[in-house]
Structure 1
Amino acid sequence: MKKTLLFLVFILGIIACNKKKNTIIPIKEIIFDKAESLFNKNNNDSAFYYFNKVVTNSRDSLHIARSYNFMSIIQSGAGDYFGAQESLMLSLKFLDGEKEKDFACLSSDYNELGLNSINLKRYELALIYYDKALFYYNKGIKLSKNTGFNLTILNNKALAYQKAKKYAQALKIYNELIPEKSKNQEEYARVLSNIAKTKWLQNSGYNAAPDFLKALSIRETENDLWGLNASYSHLMEYYQQTQPDSALRYAGKMYQVAKKLNSPDDKIEALQKLIELVPPNQIKQYFATYRKLDDSLQTARNAAKNQFALVRYEAEKNKADNLILQKDNVEKNYQIIKQRILLAFTVLLILMGSVISSIWYKKRKQRLELEAQNTIRENKLKTSKKVHDVVANGLYRVMAEIENQDGLNKDHILDKLEVMYEKSRDISYEEPQLADQNFQEKISDLLQSFATETTKVVVYMGNTAELWTKVSGDVKYELEHVLQELMVNMSKHSEANNVAVRFEHTDNHINVYYADNGIGISEGTQFNNGLTNTGNRMNNIQGEIIFDIKAEKGLKIKISFPVS
Structure 2
Amino acid sequence: MILKKRYFLIYILALTLFLVLQSCEKKAQKNYQKKQNTAEIELLLKQAHIYYENGKFDSSYYFYNKAKSSAELKKDTSRIIHSLAWMAQIQRNQGDYTGSETTSIEAFQFIENSNKYPNGETNIYIGLGNNYLNTFDYDNAIYYFKKAINYKTDKIDKAGIINNIGVTYIEKSNYQKALQILLPLLKKKEVINDEETYARINDNLGDAYDKSKSLKAFYYLNLGLKIREKIKDDWGLLSSYYHLSQYYKKSNPKLATDYALLTYEKATKINSVDDRLRSLELLIQNSTGHKLKRHSLLYLHINDSIYKVRLNTKNQFAKIKYDSKKEKDENLKLKAQKVIQEEQQRNRNFYLYFGVVIIILISILISNFLIAKNKKEKIKTSYTTEIRIAKKLHDELANDVYHTMAFAETQDLSTSQNKEILLNNLDTIYSRTRNISKENSTIESGPLFLSGLKGMISGFNNNEVNILTNGIDTVNWKALEDNKKITVYRILQELLVNMKKHSQCSLVVISFKKNEGKLQIDYSDNGVGATFENLTSKNGLQNVENRIQSIKGTISFDTKSNKGFKVSFMFPI
**What TM-score, normalized by structure 2, do the two folds share?**
0.49
**What TM-score, normalized by structure 1, do the two folds share?**
0.50
Q: Which has the higher helix share?
A: 2
* Higher RCO (Cα < 8 Å, 6 or more apart): 1
